[in-house]
Structure 1
Amino acid sequence: MNYFVIGYYALLIGASCLAAFYGRRSIFMLLFSLTLVSFVVGIVGGESALWTITLCAGALALSAGTAYAFREFLVNISGRETAKALKTAPLTAAFGMFVIFTYAVMGIFAPVIAPHGEAEVISSAFAPPDDTMLLGADQLGRDMFSRIIYGARNTVGLALCATLLAFFMGAFAGLLAATKGGNLDQVMGRIADVIMSIPSLIFALLLLSIFGTNLIVLVIIVAIIYSPRVFRLTRAVAGNIVVMDYIEAARLRGEGDLYLIRKEILPNSTAPLIAEFGLEFCFVFLLIAGLSFLGLGIQPPTADWGSMVRENATLISFGEITPLIPAGAIALLTVAVNFVVDWMLWRSAGLKE
């Protein structure tokens, strides 16, 4: 047993005793549970397993510290009402906002951050990392790090455009159906049912095979596939609002449907719709990445995380983790958006008091 193992257990047990002495029950349970788990894992996996636990704990601590600092930064630069809301945000939501902010900076300033062009061939195929290539080269000799940076602009930007279009189509149709009612509501509902009954990936592959893989076509097809989900939620939320007395009073004043949608219904259904926007973005983002992985999404030489996983999958056979980096970027953004959406749903559900 070396000094690392002794210091590891001494630190955990000492911290557990201090937490118990000062009455920090939750911290004590966390630390002592980690001690017991480490004891079992250390017996089975040895010192290397303890190093893995240490690195994971360090990564979690770094993430928590970053999330706390970023939340305090947002509180200090925000207005009074926004700052009050942000102070109640859990660290998971703050971490999600930090990740989203980081991806936004990567996408907007990609030409400045990336050391090379997204299609620039600078080395041989699958060249190892060096001073000019942080993550090595891909199958054509292009810088992987630069292509990941540009992938934030292309993959996330395209998903955002498709989500905005799907949200506009679905939300407008849902608000109109709830306001008009009658046959229009029934027809729109049946059309949404038909589209939602078809698996999204199969539907997208079929339409892209027919109409081609142009970026505009891809955005329109993805928006059509996911707009019924937005329609359903908007119709349900707006349906509870149109029966209110103030809507009836507005109708008696002679207000038109567009006025009711813009001034009465939409302002009172903003919170769940914003949360739904985050969820829709995750679905659209994963669908576009999946289509690119299958070869029918964003086409080469444009950098895209889904296609980068496919193009460099050969490296996994040689023990390289380079193809997992774009896959990890996809997973990280999806988890981050879900963290923020969970907090927004918690607030909109009235559970904050």
Structure 2
Amino acid sequence: MTQTATPTTARRFDYTFSPVGMVALAVILFWAIVAAFAPHLVPYPPGKIVDTDYFGPISSKLWLGSDYLGRDMLSRIIMGARYTLGVALAGVLIASTCGVVLGMAAAVLGGWFDTILSRFMDAMLSIPSKLFGLVVVAAVGSSLPALILTLAFIYAPGSFRFARSLAVNVNTMDFIAMARIRGESTLYLVGAEILPNIIRPVLADFGLRFVFIVLLLSGLSFLGLGVQPPLADWGALVHENIQSLSYASAAVIAPSLAIASLTISVNLLIDNLPRAIRDRSA
């Protein structure tokens, strides 16, 4: 008698980006590479005056013209990418890590720990982010570590509330109850049971908070409280060259477009994250 083999079922993951998502990813990777290799990409030293005319026009020598002192705008935008992306990425990493870990811990532990921490985060969320940033930066200064910690402190409560709401739902499921019966620790529940089940929305929230931090950092720099001279991020470049609007110069338009291209691309990438997951027979 011939025995028929039972077909095995395998789970195959098919991740496909939409064309919009691929373009957005390409723009983000472009700026990431520019930020990483900025010192090797600048055609001129960012602080060197290379043009005798301020707000000089676009030319074969100066691809984006010159700024209010005659410095090369392309070089300053390339170096500004390092500070914009670096400060924003550091801030969102701290904010999301602290917020997600505390949110999951609050959902698992509950009781007084959850109540006190949630009320504190609610109080922090009630403070306007830009006003809080202005007060803190004006009080402690605009050094890069102070900026990073301020931005992280502003956006950690929102990350906490988001992660907690997800973790509360997962915490009521049967596999969590079984893990508790087995005597698993809180660290195991948070890291091995809850986090893998909320990682996708957490990553989407990470991207959105990165955009918020870029915009807030640019706003602070535009007001003169962000990255300080001789360093400059994109928001500071807009602030420095705002008068170039009267001269039809690219000195203020170019950094504005850089901010827009990065933030819009991150939003489009989040909206077009690959979601196609299918089961197929092997």
**Superposition TM-score, scaled by structure 1 size:** 0.72
Helix, strand or coil: the match of 2:272? helix
Structure 1's unaligned 5+ residue stretches are: 1-79
Which of 87, 106, 121 does residue 49 from structure 2 map onto?
A: 121
Instruction: Among all aligned residue pairs of Structure 1 and Structure 2, give the percentage whose two residues are the same amino acid.
Output: 42
Shift of 1:169: 1.0
Shift of 1:81: 6.2
Does the CA-based 8 Å contact 1:139-1:312 persist in structure 2? yes
1:1-353 maps to which residues of 2 (within 5 A)? 84-86=14-16, 89-124=17-52, 125-344=54-273, 347=275
Does the CA-based 8 Å contact 2:47-2:230 persist in structure 1? yes
Question: Which deviates further from its counterpart, 262-271 or 123-132?
Answer: 123-132
- Calculate the aligned-residue CA RMSD, in Å: 1.9
Does the CA-based 8 Å contact 2:96-2:159 persist in structure 1? yes
Does the CA-based 8 Å contact 1:179-1:261 persist in structure 2? yes
Counterparts of 1:313 and 1:189, CA distance in 2: 42
Q: How many residues align?
A: 267
Helix, strand or coil: the match of 1:85? coil
Counterparts of 2:80 and 2:192, CA distance in 1: 39
Q: Which has the higher contact order (CA 8 A, sep 6+)?
A: 2
Does the CA-based 8 Å contact 2:57-2:249 persist in structure 1? no
Shift of 1:139: 1.4
Counterparts of 1:81 and 1:290, CA distance in 2: 45
Larger Rg: 1
Counterparts of 1:117 and 1:304, CA distance in 2: 15
Does the CA-based 8 Å contact 1:118-1:303 persist in structure 2? no
Shift of 1:301: 1.1
Shift of 1:101: 0.8
Q: Which amino acid aligns with 2:42?
A: A
Does the CA-based 8 Å contact 1:118-1:302 persist in structure 2? no
Counterparts of 1:306 and 1:107, CA distance in 2: 15
